[in-house]
A and B are shown apart, each in its own frame.
Chain A
Amino acid sequence: MADLNTEEGITRRSFLRATTAAAAGAAALTSALAPLRNIGDFPSVEEFIQKHYTELTPAQLTTVLGRIENEVQKEYGIRPHVRALKPMNGVEFVYALNLSRCCGCRKCVHACVAENNQSRSPEVQYIRVLKMPNDGRFDLESGDHNYNPESVPVPGHFFMPIQCHHCKNPPCVKVCPVKATWQEPDGITVIDYDWCIGCRYCEAACPYFARRFNFTEPSIPKEKINPNMSYLGNRPRHKGVMEKCHFCVQRTRAGQYPACLEACPTGSRKFGNILDPDSEVSYILKNKRVMILKEELGTLPRFFYYFDV
């Protein structure tokens, strides 16, 4: 018996040594790989093999919308209605904002947050309102985001909301390395949140500081979810993707006004189809004094500021 073991080369000692070494190695490997178990935000298989939005067939799109509805229901306990509304023929959206009337009450900001399922913590807001001194210089550097007076408007100042300008020559679209953002035929610059890699080039490229990045997983109270969702619009986003104003694509492509417009108590915000000569925005661009923010950059925005006088 002892001879046989000697011939085979396995002694009790060598067996124990090898087993101990193997066990220690396995334990070390397991502990080294342990942090991987904490990564929870892997995309699902369906999301991983999903194609770009513009390449989806109608059947695939239905599957994708169903998957998003299931995901939202699982996370927020509410069954949303996720649609992928197509741009209408003969429609190009234009926004006009009356700087003579805007009183800086920030109602548009909060209507936008509620409509578009934006993260409440950390706070993501698409509209910024600047309090600007009315000294004739129009210096954006002297604008103040954090004004908090007893009541608005404030004498000697005017207020200027800034959001995505939906440029006809958009720098953000040019810099995107993966084509996760593009311009739709109706003029809305959209983002495919499932395609975005979160490189933030677009945020750097935008001269209007209109794009927002989800640095952490967004948190929205369950009771505040807006169930009227669209794929390119207000469906809940994940950590690590960009988002921005999309002219309330879930409303405007169904013929409605954007949420910020309806919330404005002064009626400063006007929206419509520039290709329709009878629309409100056509009248404004024809008859009013219109200003384009940072016109010299050649971005050709579809967002105009106008004045009454």
Chain B
Amino acid sequence: MSDNSKTTWMFGILTCVFICLTIYFVRSPILYPHVYQKPVVPSARLAGIPSGTIRISAAQLIKSGADVSGLDCYACHDPKHPPVIKFALDGQVILPKEHTDLIYSMRNCEECHSQEKPQKIQYNPDGSTNIPKAHQDLMQMAHGKAVKNNNCYNCHNENQLNTLHSSTGKKLNFDQATQLCAGCHGTIYEDWLAGSHGRTEGYWDHKLGPARKQECSSCHDPHAPSFTGIIPMPGPHLLHPEDAPDTHNSTP
């Protein structure tokens, strides 16, 4: 009887020790290394990537009540000393690196890309974001073809950087930028007011629903307003593909 209970005790203790050892081996990172996990790539800020043809303008950004902290000029600049514009040898304005970011922060991918189907961001081997071809534009100051409008203070207010001023000296807020454009581009502005210029969405019949109109800087980058090319969508299928004219290399 006593032998039996001793044996039972011994078995019980051995079982406990065995279980403890098993847990230790399984848990031990040295003896039982965990499966390698890919390092988590932090989700890129979509707002930092240049958009395609539709951007959200500063005007719409302010009106929508979004984060406009990037537009606070006096977070960096001293209000009493307006920043001096630096020019390159060819007369082009040298854009400060900080300001290329600021231009991008006004962009909003959701204007074009739907939120339900998020765009997959591709990364280069060095970890930097691979900017799609259609988006590789607007790292430049290119306003005007014949006559360059490349002086910051033609539009930005030197003495109050978070405002704009028109050619007549009228002070305008960022959400009134369309008025500023109208100062020079009057005919286009009239067309835009009448609806013959610019993108519209929604309802042609205003009794049944609203028509959404884009402001100037929603489609045009004010710093480089003319459009760069976009990639065309595929053409019709060919009945006899082998006979297709090689439009790629043909010269007109």
Contacts and interface: CB of A to CB of B under 8 A. Distances in A.
Interface stretch (B72-80, B152-160, B225-233): B225-233
B230 A144 contact: no
A256 B209 contact: yes
Give chain A's interface residue range (CB within 8 Å of chain B): 35 or more
Nearest to A286: B194
Contacts of A255: 203-205, 207-209
A133 B230 CA distance: 19
Interface in A221-278: 252, 254-257, 261-262, 264-267, 270-273
Given A149-B248, A272-B204, A267 B232 contact: no
A254 B208 contact: yes
B96 interface: no
B86 interface: no
B247 A256 contact: no
Contacts of B235: 106, 129, 145-148
B197 interface: yes
Interface stretch (B121-129, B143-151, B165-173, B237-245): B237-245
Contacts of B118: none
The DSSP consensus for interface residues of chain B is loop
A280 B194 contact: yes
Given A252-B204, A256-B203, A273-B204, A148 B196 contact: no
B55 to A, nearest CB: 12
Nearest to A283: B194
Given A133-B252, A256-B203, A283 B196 contact: yes
> Which of B202, B204, B229, B237 counts the most A-chain CB atoms under 10 A from its CB?
B204
B236 A152 contact: no
A187 interface: no
Nearest to A157: B252
Contacts of A308: 191, 197
A83 interface: no
A142 B37 CA distance: 58
Interface in A144-183: 144-153, 156-157
Nearest to A264: B199
B202 A125 contact: no
A290 to B, nearest CB: 11
Contacts of A150: 229, 231
Given A123-B237, A283-B195, A283-B196, A151 B231 contact: yes
B70 to A, nearest CB: 26
* Central interface residue in A98, A128, A267, by most chain B CB within 10 Å: A267
A146 B244 contact: yes
Nearest to B187: A308
Interface residues of B, number: 39
A174 B106 CA distance: 54
B135 to A, nearest CB: 12
B53 interface: yes
A224 B235 CA distance: 19
B52 interface: yes
Contact of A147 (B191, B229, B232): B232
A151 B252 contact: no
A309 to B, nearest CB: 10
B116 interface: no
A141 B79 CA distance: 63
A105 interface: yes
A149 B232 contact: yes
A87 to B, nearest CB: 13
A96 to B, nearest CB: 8
A19 interface: no
A256 B204 CA distance: 6
B198 interface: yes
A88 to B, nearest CB: 8
Interface string B107-151: 000000000000000000000000000000000000000000000
Contacts of A109: 233
B57 to A, nearest CB: 15
Given A283-B194, A287-B196, 9 more contacts: A96-B196, A105-B233, A144-B245, A146-B244, A254-B208, A255-B205, A262-B200, A267-B197, A267-B219
Q: Which 5 A-B pairs have the closest CB atoms?
A: A151-B229, A255-B208, A280-B195, A255-B205, A267-B199
5 contacts: A103-B230, A149-B247, A151-B231, A267-B199, A267-B200
